Amino acid sequence: MKIRVLGSSAGGGFPQWNCNCRNCDGVRRGTLKATPRTQSSIVVGANGEDWLLVNASPDILAQIAAHPELQPARRARDSGIAAVLTMDAQIDHVTGLLMLRERDTPLPLYTTDVVWQDLSSGFPVTSILSHYCGVERHRVPFDGEALTIPALAGVRIEALALSSKAPPYSPHREAPQPGDNIGLSFVDTHSGKRAFYAPGLGAIEPHVMAAMRQADLLLVDGTCWTNDEMIQLGLSGKTAADMGHLAQTGAGGMIEVLDSIDRPGVRKVLIHINNTNPILVEDGPERRVLAEHGIEVARDGMAFEL
């Protein structure tokens, strides 16, 4: 099983178009040791040619251009993206669907039922796409039933519901439903190796911890360093927790959670990193703290073979 990080940034990207925080301004001017990142997405594949796109970022066209393996060019119109799965209905995970409309066959789209509802109402991308390539709907179960996808022979997908909120434009924003946001385990059925991917992980519930403990690769919520980071910088009134994200520091934070996982050989990688997060500074003290805890920071293009 192969996993490639297409976009390691949270919504907005790094640098964010209108942001002049220390990180965004510094990377733009070249005065900070940091690397630009596109918005939240990975691909998972088994044969090196057909890929499941997990989250369709607003940056999908640039991400495809940056990764020739997604362009096998077998026919006049062709893509290595065989199917798409979106883990929630957030803008940074679904906007890219609109960019895939030139297909000549319906786009296979895997979502939970509630995400499908949001993508047919609050953000009606499936209705819009019905006027172009159309969408072939597939349901993602999250009650223990595994999912297999034809293009990913030898990969089993296990989804679990995360306690989170639907996006602001969801008709049920104030009444969270199981399946608004999921975490995914990708299991290579030959090697038995497992990857756990959860770019938004507000609370480490027992079933989440159980999935994390089994994983050989953890790609988990790296949005904010401190819970009040955006407030401290005067950029938002919301904490990381308000946005459904678990900060790295503090009691019960992601560093503590990851410290409690000691599976031999496990790789711990933070992904979906907000542009305000000081871990983006490659020679900064926060990076050194992460290194002491054996925690890596995802970058675009990072590849894993399991």
Where do contacts with Mn ion occur on this chain (CB under 5 A)? Answer: 10-11, 92
Q: How far is the CB of 244 from ligand MLT (least distance, A)?
A: 6
User: For residue 277, which of 244, 301, 246 has the smallest C-alpha distance?
Assistant: 246
Q: Where are the beta strands (DSSP E) in the chain?
A: 2-7, 41-45, 51-54, 81-85, 107-111, 135-139, 155-161, 182-188, 194-198, 217-221, 267-271, 295-297, 303-305
Taking CB under 6 A as the binding criterion, the range among 76-84, 90-98, 107-115, 253-261 that sits at the site for ligand MLT is 90-98
Distance CA 177, CA 83 (A): 25
**Which spans of this chain sit near Zn ion (rule: CB under 5 A)?**
16, 19, 21, 24, 275
Distance CA 113, CA 49 (A): 29
Considering only residues 1 to 60 of the shown chain, the ones binding ligand MLT according to CB under 6 A are: 10-11
Q: How far is CA 50 from CA 40, 95, 136, 151, in A?
A: 20, 21, 17, 6
* Residue 16 vs 164, nearer CB to Zn ion: 16
Residue nearest ligand MLT, CB atom distance: 11
Q: Is 92 in the site for ligand MLT (CB under 6 A)?
A: yes
Residue type, 39: Q
Element (H, E) at 211: helix 206-214
Size of the site for ligand MLT (CB under 6 A): 7
The one among 80, 179, 200, 202 contacting ligand MLT by CB under 6 A: 200
User: Out of Mn ion, Zn ion, ligand MLT, none, which partner does residue 183 contact, by CB within 5 to 8 A per kind?
Assistant: none
The one among 81, 220, 243, 254 contacting ligand MLT by CB under 6 A: 243
* Residue 151 vs 271, nearer CB to ligand MLT: 271
Distance CA 234, CA 299 (A): 26
Taking CB under 6 A as the binding criterion, the range among 47-55, 86-94, 119-127, 176-184 that sits at the site for ligand MLT is 86-94
Q: Is 229 in the site for ligand MLT (CB under 6 A)?
A: no
DSSP class per residue in 3-20: EEEEE-B-TTTBTTTT--
* Residue 24 vs 266, nearer CB to Zn ion: 24
Distance CA 49, CA 62 (A): 19
User: Out of ligand MLT, Mn ion, Zn ion, none, which partner does residue 24 contact, by CB within 5 to 8 A per kind?
Assistant: Zn ion
Q: How far is the CB of 90 from ligand MLT (least distance, A)?
A: 4
The one among 8, 16, 79, 90 contacting ligand MLT by CB under 6 A: 90
Cβ pair 9, 38 in contact under 8 A = yes
Which residues is 4 bridged to in the sheet?
43, 303
Residues binding ligand MLT (CB under 6 A): 10-11, 90-92, 200, 243
